[in-house]
Amino acid sequence: MPLPKWDGGDLAGRTIHLYGEQGIGDEIMFASCVADMARRAAQVKLWCEPRLAPLFARSFPGVEVLAKPRGGLAPLLEPQANETLRCSLASLPRFLRRAAPDFPGSPYLAADAVATARWRERFAALGGRRVIGISWRGGGAPRAREARSIALEQLAPLFAIEGVRIVDLQYGDHREEIARFNAGAANPLARFDDIDPLRDMDGFAAAIAALDAVVCVDNSTAHLAGALGVPTLLLLPFQADWRWEHGREASPWYASLRLLWQQQPGPDAWPSVVQRASEQLSNMDGAGAQVLSGGVAAAAAPGVARPDVDAAPDILLLNDTSYWYHWGCTCTSLALHESLRERGLTVDPVHITHLNALAPLPVTVAQFDDDAFFEAFRAGNPGLISRLQAASRVMVNGEGSLHDFGITARALLYLIYIAAKRMGKAVHIVNHSCYPATAGDPTALDALYRMVYSTASFVAVREEKSLARLTALGIEATPTFDCLPLYAARHPVNAPRVMRRVVMAGCVQLDARMVELLARLGNEVLAAGCELIFLAGANAWLAQDDALLLAALHPRLRGRYRLVAATSEAEWLETIAGAGLLISGRFHHSIAAAAVGTALLIAGSNTAKNEGLIDRLGLNPDAVWMDAAQPDVASTRLAALLRDPAGGTVDPARLAQLRELANRNFEQLPAR
């Protein structure tokens, strides 16, 4: 979801997109926070698992419920979404469920009242005083499935309770297991073919709402029954999932659940759990136990919106990094999205992880024009080919991906080439640094990059070294700048600056000499009486070099630093803005510091782009450059910046020029 992440702030007058993640049980459980958000925000849009959309639309009448697009695609957002925030359902409890009184526990899903009434009639025809639903398997991964699941025959004591009829709620094909269990049974397990937990969640909810109680293991049925307010006995293994809080008999999430735990691990511990469930069901008053959400009149449900994933976007954005390995990538990609939406354009983003999963990819120059290879690529990636064909234009967010001939570079180069040559698309390569060959003989790669770039309609590079490199290849490129300052300008942070605070961040070019240099500088910061912060965090996958660097620095700094693992764009920018100096080898961290007025000390990267960045920022390399081969020089420059940070701070007028340059990434695009 290419929108800024909500950080718990005021939502008055704002729109927020909420979206489910992980399993369907998780979506149901965390949807307990949706009503809270509807009271806080002017508008809430809830993107959910498509099977849940009808149920959620009925249950949250003030919320616009939309089915998530297929295949994990990001939805096409309307241009006015630039004032909108996003938050996953699983992140909402961080802000809304911080203490026991914050958990209402009351039912929040409303089953279809008509369908529930029909199920009551069908269940009544079974002839019992009470009708209980059971589900006995749970867990996705093998170990979880083994721990959570119970054999159907172990539930036999439930069938011996007088006046009780049992209904099958277990998802999956288990007809043979039921047939064996029911052979000669006095009280067989009732199975209804139209109870379909896997494909019809709304119908499944209606069936559950018509029951007197549910007995189940830890799976999505428990969450659905709890959210509907149906009395439920949850059979839990000795070491259950975190959300049930070991040893508790009640759940703060669902008031209608009772938790029955194994007293020791393993399948042999289930009989005593089932015996306790049997005793509780035997003592349950049928009339008093029936708490059916279907009996509550539900508000009129809005229509469930299903996004048209086949709609033709204006821009197919290749290499979206808004969900990537540090917040700088996130911010620059979000700035791309916002700038495109400001022009009234719709964007279909293709994430960098999707690029890295494409196959086959060319390994020779000849394959770029090979028809048989293209047909193999089309057959292996039909969805992406369709999206390329549907888009009016293609934009490539190059960032630092167009180096050498690795997986991401090959994917981008090939997509640029086929979009332009085979499909006749206008291709814009923007927001990037380009280094065709950083080692070895550059001849072949230079020729390949020249061939591919010559097909593009517009090429924009963000620093001087790349501009010189492409010019030497005969490629016409426009000097621009990275889009991150545009994001910082649109989303200003309020962080009081502490001049004696130094933030240290990662470095792509991480070898033993660089680790020793950063450790030395960290200790010199501390010796100068300054506070030292190590900044990490990402919207998706934490950068591996950040973890490696921190592990190496920790013993050298003897723990005398504060770790900030930022959980949002705002926290990341606030951490940099609140410091007097940033020490980093990361391109985007340095740009962020420039954008918020923090002084810089910059290390080399895996290409010359950081040297080009210093030129773009208008800084003196003799004041801000640190080289692992010259640690004494780096120490001298650190001491100078701690005394007077002006030499490492970008002039406001220069920053305004950089924002103008960043806007040049979009100058050849049409506006609506």
Averaged pLDDT in 10-residue chunks for the chain of 672 residues: 94 96 93 97 96 97 94 87 95 95 96 97 94 91 86 94 95 91 92 92 97 96 97 95 92 97 93 96 63 35 47 91 95 97 95 95 96 98 96 96 95 98 97 89 90 97 94 95 98 95 92 95 97 96 90 94 96 98 96 98 91 96 96 98 97 97 93 74
Helix axes 544-557, 512-527, angle to 10 degrees: 50
- Cβ distance 619 to 600 under 8 Å? yes
Specify the pLDDT at position 365: 94
β-pairing verdict for 347-351 and 458-461: unpaired
The one-letter amino acid at 324? W
Give just the sign of the alpha carbon dihedral 565, 542, 26, 176: negative
Angle subtended by helix axes 327-342 and 587-596, to nearest 10: 60
Give the C-alpha separation, 38 to 59, whole Å: 12
Site of tokens 């500088």 = 521
State residue 293's pLDDT score.
33
With H, G, I as helix, E, B as strand and everything else as coil, classify residue 606: coil
Q: Identify the pLDDT of residue 146.
A: 86
DSSP string, 186-234: SSPPB--TT--TTT-HHHHHHHHHTSSEEEEESSHHHHHHHHHT--EEE
Predicted confidence at residue 542, as pLDDT, reads 87
Q: What is the pLDDT of residue 140?
A: 75
Please tell me the pTM assigned to this model: 0.89
What is the model's pLDDT at position 71? 81
Best CA proximity match to 483, nearest among 660, 611, 341, 362: 660
pLDDT confidence of residue 304: 54
Beta sheet of 164-168, edge-to-edge order: 164-168, 130-135, 213-217, 232-236, 257-261
